[in-house]
Structure 1
Amino acid sequence: MTADDISRLIGRVALGNREAFTDLYSATSPKLFGVCLRILNNRAEAEDALQEVYVKIWRDASKFAPSDFSPMSWLIAIARNHAIDRIRASKPDAVDIDEMVDLSDETANPEKEAILSSDRRGIERCLDELPEARAVAIRGAYLEGYSYQELAEQQEIPLNTVRTWLRRGLLKLKECLER
C-alpha cells in the first residue's frame, strides 16, 4: 500500500468510514504493533497499547494533514508517543527526599563488632558451664538448626528429654549472661 493510499484511508476514517478504518488497520497494524512492542518490551502491553492507538487514530484522524511527510510517520508518532506515555504512567511517582526514612547503614561497624564478639564470648563461656550433653543440644538446636527430633535421635534420648534440656539450659544461660 502506498503513502497516498494510506493518506486517503486516513481521510475516509476522519469522515467516520468504518470500512476504511478496517483497511487502515489491516495495512498498518503490523508496523505499529512492532513500534509498541519495541518500546514496551511486553507482548500483552503492546497489544493493549495498539488497541488504544487505533482508538486515538479513529478519534484524531481529522487532525491529519497530508504533507511532504509519510502518513506512516504520523501513525508511528501516535503509537510511539502512546507507548512512552504508558511507560511513564506505570512508573511510581518520585518521593520527596525529605519524606524518605532514615537510610542508615545497618552493616556492622567496629563498635557493633566488638559488642557482638563480647556477646559471643559470654555465650560460649556460659555454654561451657552447662553439662556437655545439654550444651551440645543447645548448640545443635539454636546454632546449627537441628530439630528437636533430630537432636533426640543423635543423642539417643526421648524427645521430651531434649525439650526439657533445652528449656532448662536456656534458663541457665540467661542466668549466666545476666551475671
Structure 2
Amino acid sequence: MEDRDEVGELLARIGLRDAQAFETLYRRVAGRLMAVALRVMQDRAAAEDVLQEVFAALWNRADRAAPGQHRTLAWLCVVTRHRAIDLLRKRRPEEPLHWRGDDGEERVYDVPADDASPIDQLLALEGDAQLARCMGELEPEPRRALLLAFHDGLTHPEIAERMARPLGTVKAWTRRSLMRLKGCMEAVA
C-alpha cells in the first residue's frame, strides 16, 4: 500500500476512534512532522508542542473530514506547518517571520534548508508528479505568489510588497491558483 493511501486509511480509522491506528500513524509520520515544526519554530520544545497539538487535533477531529478531502502525508505536513506558524505568531506577535536585524542583515525564522525545498521534498515523498504537472500549468507570477504564500509563509501584503504588485492582484492570483490546482488534482483522483 502506498504511503498516501495508508495515511488516509489510518486517518479514517482514527475517526472511528481506533487507538491502534493512531499509534501506527504516529510511529510512521511523527518524525517527518517534527522536522516540519522544528524548521518553522527553530526550537525543539516549541516544535514538540506543535506536534502534540496536531496529533491531539487529529484524534479529536478525525471524524470531521470534509467529503472528498484527500488527507495524505503532504496534507499533514501543511497542517503542521500552519499550526507552527500560528503558534509562532502568537508567541512573538511583535516579531515578524522576516525582519532586518540591528546589524542590517535580513533575518528569517523559517530559514531555507540547503537541501531540496519543502515543496520538492513533498513531491518526492508523495511521488506526486501530478502536483508538479499542475503547478507547471500555472502562469509564472501567480505560481510564484502561491509558493511565497505556502512555501515561505508570507501573508498577502508581504507577497504584494515583495512582488511589487497590488494587494488585490496577489489575493486573486493565490485564490485562482489554488482553485486551478484543486481542479487539476481532482481531475486525476
TM-score (norm 1): 0.47
Which of structures 1 and 2 has the bigger CA Rg? Answer: 1
- Select the structure that is richer in helix: 1
**Normalising by the residue count of structure 2, what TM-score does the alignment of the two structures yield?**
0.45
